[in-house]
A and B are shown apart, each in its own frame.
Chain A
Amino acid sequence: MSSARTPDQTFDRFAGRQLLILALAGIAGITLLMVLLGWASSLTGASAGANVAVDPVTKTITLHMSTEPPQLNSSLATDMLSGMVLGHVMEGLLRYDQNSELAPGVAERWHIDGNGATFWLRKDALWSDGQPVTAHDFVFAWRLALDPENASQYAFILHPIKNAEAITRGELPVDALGVEASGDHTLRVELERPIAYFDKLVAFPTYYPIREDFYQQTNPRYGAESDTLLYNGAFMLTRWVHGAHLRLEKNPQYWNHEQIQINVLDFPYITTDPNAALNLFKDNKIAQTGLAAENLYEAMERRWQIQRFMDGSVFFVEFNFRDDRATKNLHLRKAIQLATDPAELVYKVTKLPGYLPGESIFPVWLKGVNGFFRQEYPAPAPTMDLDAAREHLAQAKRELGEIPALVLLTGDNPLSSLQSEYFQQVLRKNLGLDVRIDKQIFKQRLAKMTSGDFDMVMAGWGPDYDDPLTFGDLFASWNPNNRGMYANAELDANVEIAKTSLDPKTRMDAFGEIQRILIEDAAVLPNYERGSTFVVNPAMKGMVRRAVGLDPDYTYAYIDEP
């Protein structure tokens, strides 16, 4: 002991040592606690994913999801993510192949004529419990989706089938549906009227089979957990920890299982935060992630191979055509149409490669008679013209008096806030219009759209099936999704032609007319066709992206270490 120390210093030294001991004990205690908690949470089912994004040994691909599917009952599913998971674990009569062409699924062959369709089912299609998939399973699923008791929001997609609409309305019993199983492996469908695209419809999730005995046994929890769902697709869901983890494993009962090269598709991360997903990708934890505009710099800096893809959706500003609204005035709409420039929005504000400035509500990828629809029927999109816009505005003012403040209804996600702020400022700057942003959470926005409590609304539409009609009937006066109540007899007539005609040329002409009417009438202002910019781990190959149908599709994926 050095005598130079004062008693206080000695005390401090002892106290410091004491504190150190306590700190060590504390750290030991915390470690113990964490081990205990880790053990406890493993009991409740939470689990970590594989350690690397692409594991060639176990043939595992690890990915993330933005949110979990609300549920996986195919007769009720409405959202993209349910569709994505269902597309991997279920198979309909038909499916899309690597080149996004229709291919045989459960049905080996099919025949569609004017009034009906016949599907011949393959004999080796099995459910994951080993029982065969039969025509009865389709009959049951389709009846279920239309059953008013089940209240499926996607029942409308089955409406081309005979009596389907009347069943939804409760006017006919479900067994009146125009579909019957003749034997176990032949399915006959009667149509309400001839339609040209029924084969494209049956690839949609609402048309997937459901086995009656299993459904009755698990109801009302069918599709709520991994063990209350029966699979007939390439994969099966072996684990579903809600909000945390979905794990898809190869289905050994799948008829085409030899072609499936991936053993496990693991989704151990569920996050809406693009930065978190990007961090996972950087950390080599996930094999694919989308990039936001603000991530592009880093993606280039890290020398990643960046890819892009158009997801098929179109986003636009809808006007309100109810009588008490200023936007019912054609000149006001024309003024707004001519004073805005979708290109500036896309190139300066959203700033993502892959987005295309909107010219029409029909996106560029839709097929026309021989080639692409938009090449055969170019959209007569007006170019920005401020002088003309101001003339229209002056005319509108003569007709309406002073223009009231316009309400712009928008969603609460960052991108739509950004766009509506941009839009507000552009109209203020170019036309001196007072635009008020009404930012609402999803359901409140829908409620306001339905009740017509808006002048303009930022909206979008994704395709349900691969035919221009999925966009074409959007502004028909009878369509409940036409929230602005746009009504135009000429447009309605053309929609009717497109729905009933079987001749491609006649139908495409009708769509061309619809496109022209919507632009000339300034009924809707297309903003952009949404794209997605993404990066993929170079070892994962064969992922298919498509605008209509299962996206992204990992069914044909394989691992190829570079």
Chain B
Amino acid sequence: MWKYTFKRLIQGVITVWFIATATFFVMHNVPGDPLADAKAVSPEIRANLEAKYGLDKPVHEQYLIYLANFLRGDFGISFAQQNRYVNDIIYEHFPVSATLGILAIVFAGLGGVLWGALTALYRNRLPDVIIMFLVILGISVPSFVVAALGQLGIVNANNFFGTSLLPAVGWGTIAHMLVPSMVLGLGTMAYLTRLMRSSMLEIVNSDFVRTAKSKGLPPSRIFTNHQLRNAILPVITVLGPSIAAITTGGFVVESVFAIPGLGRYFVQAVQQSDYTVIMGTTVFYGAFLVFMVIVVDLLYAWVDPRVRLE
């Protein structure tokens, strides 16, 4: 177990190095000039700016400096916000994205399991038809449309009731989190509902459920302990990859709802060719995802004894 963990960690570190290198070389070949601004600058000022960001050195030297700084956990200073460290930017904005992501995952997971179980229970009856229709909508409507409609819905509800039920835009309190995280989790929830439904239907007809029933176990126990529990397993298996999709997929929701998350920051940084911020956030996200995958794999092994670690 420890040996395996150690091996995975080493692999993870190499992967992160690969991501960092790929990001560095992609960024240094991107056309455009991070130092250009609306007002043209004189060559002298330009030279000074290049020196400040180390752009006057040859690329391989810049790469080594970048790796060395990166090892020390220093991503440098932003080009656009000339006196903010990239570390501060990540430190301030990542928790916001993470909060949004965690809530979205919880909504998606819980919603998926409940709706899936419900539709399986009422198979081919009205609730099933309604929910599966909504699921199909959830899968096939682009997230930015859902987000815009969600915001519009809040505003219309607020106007209708004449009070501020929920804030339409912004971040900070519980009320701000509710709708954005539901919108973010919607696609995943729809997917999980489908998965849960088919997994439930498979379990309902399985031998051990029939045995349990014929043994005369109380229905509530059969349902919870035999059916739900086993049906959830495949759902848990896909939750891992969903975490990655949701944490990086927050761009749209963050920009529509004006949430100060790292995703929105990344898009802005790209639009401004803010090299250091782009490299910092990409490497950070990459590292985060790599280690999340490791953690999730280890958790599986711990939860499900059938999974053996090589």
- Stretch of B58-66, B92-100, B128-136, B299-307 that contacts chain A: B92-100
Does B201 count as interface, using CB distance less than 8 angstroms?
Answer: no
Give the chain B neighbours of A114 by CB distance below 8 A: none
Give the chain B neighbours of A22 by CB distance below 8 A: 114, 224, 228
Interface bits B258-301 vs A (CB < 8 Å: 1, else 0): 10100011001011110000000000000000000000000000
- Residue on A nearest B36 in the bound complex, by CB: A446
Does A276 count as interface, using CB distance less than 8 angstroms?
Answer: yes
Does B255 count as interface, using CB distance less than 8 angstroms?
Answer: yes
B11-59, CB < 8 A from A: 31-34, 36-42, 44-45, 48-49, 52
Residue contacts A-B, CB under 8 angstroms, 11 given: A19-B114, A19-B223, A48-B170, A48-B172, A220-B83, A221-B83, A243-B260, A269-B258, A273-B255, A276-B256, A279-B151
Does A17 count as interface, using CB distance less than 8 angstroms?
Answer: yes
Other-chain residue from A15, A16, A222, A279 in contact with B168 (beta carbon distance below 8 A): A279
Does B244 count as interface, using CB distance less than 8 angstroms?
Answer: no
Does A288 count as interface, using CB distance less than 8 angstroms?
Answer: no
Q: Would A441 and B92 be within 8 Å (CB), given that A268-B172, A447-B32 are in contact?
A: no
Expressed in whole angstroms, the minimum distance between the Cβ of A187 and any Cβ of chain B is 25
Other-chain residue from B45, B220, B273 in contact with A443 (beta carbon distance below 8 A): B273
Does A504 count as interface, using CB distance less than 8 angstroms?
Answer: no
- Residue on B nearest A270 in the bound complex, by CB: B258
Interface bits A117-159 vs B (CB < 8 Å: 1, else 0): 0000000000000000000000000000000111111111000
Interface bits A269-303 vs B (CB < 8 Å: 1, else 0): 11111011101101111000000000000000000
User: Is the pair B39, A154 in contact by a Cβ cutoff of 8 Å?
Assistant: yes
Give the chain B neighbours of A441 by CB distance below 8 A: 32, 270-273
- Stretch of B1-9, B103-111, B186-194, B234-242 that contacts chain A: B103-111
Does B86 count as interface, using CB distance less than 8 angstroms?
Answer: no
Interface bits A157-171 vs B (CB < 8 Å: 1, else 0): 000000000001110
Could you tell me the distance between the alpha carbons of A168 and B164 in the complex, rounded to whole angstroms? 54
Does A71 count as interface, using CB distance less than 8 angstroms?
Answer: yes
Other-chain residue from A151, A156, A282 in contact with B159 (beta carbon distance below 8 A): A282
Known: A79-B38, A151-B45. 9 other contacts (CB 8 A): A12-B122, A37-B177, A67-B268, A151-B48, A155-B42, A220-B77, A241-B92, A276-B169, A279-B168
Could you tell me the distance between the alpha carbons of A480 and B42 in the complex, rounded to whole angstroms? 8
Give the chain A neighbours of B48 by CB distance below 8 A: 148-151
Does A78 count as interface, using CB distance less than 8 angstroms?
Answer: yes
Interface bits B162-198 vs A (CB < 8 Å: 1, else 0): 0010011111111111100000000000000000000
User: Is the pair A169, B260 in contact by a Cβ cutoff of 8 Å?
Assistant: no
User: Is the pair B255, A283 in contact by a Cβ cutoff of 8 Å?
Assistant: no
Other-chain residue from A70, A76, A242, A480 in contact with B40 (beta carbon distance below 8 A): A480
User: Is the pair B32, A282 in contact by a Cβ cutoff of 8 Å?
Assistant: no
User: Is the pair B168, A18 in contact by a Cβ cutoff of 8 Å?
Assistant: no
Does B118 count as interface, using CB distance less than 8 angstroms?
Answer: yes
- Residue on A nearest B50 in the bound complex, by CB: A151
Does B75 count as interface, using CB distance less than 8 angstroms?
Answer: no
Q: Would A38 and B174 be within 8 Å (CB), given that A70-B82, A273-B255, A276-B257 are in contact?
A: yes
Could you tell me the distance between the alpha carbons of A18 and B219 in the complex, rounded to whole angstroms? 9
Does B137 count as interface, using CB distance less than 8 angstroms?
Answer: no
Interface size on B, residues (CB 8 A): 81
Does B117 count as interface, using CB distance less than 8 angstroms?
Answer: yes
User: Is the pair B271, A70 in contact by a Cβ cutoff of 8 Å?
Assistant: no
User: Is the pair B172, A19 in contact by a Cβ cutoff of 8 Å?
Assistant: no
User: Is the pair A280, B33 in contact by a Cβ cutoff of 8 Å?
Assistant: no
User: Is the pair B173, A446 in contact by a Cβ cutoff of 8 Å?
Assistant: no
User: Is the pair A37, B102 in contact by a Cβ cutoff of 8 Å?
Assistant: yes
Does B248 count as interface, using CB distance less than 8 angstroms?
Answer: no
Other-chain residue from B34, B45, B99, B114 in contact with A153 (beta carbon distance below 8 A): B45
- Residue on A nearest B46 in the bound complex, by CB: A151
Does A49 count as interface, using CB distance less than 8 angstroms?
Answer: yes
Does A184 count as interface, using CB distance less than 8 angstroms?
Answer: no
- Stretch of A27-35, A92-100, A415-423, A425-433 that contacts chain B: A27-35
- Residue on B nearest A17 in the bound complex, by CB: B220
Q: Would A446 and B33 be within 8 Å (CB), given that A37-B103, A220-B83, A244-B172 are in contact?
A: yes
Q: Would A285 and B167 be within 8 Å (CB), given that A19-B114, A169-B42 are in contact?
A: yes
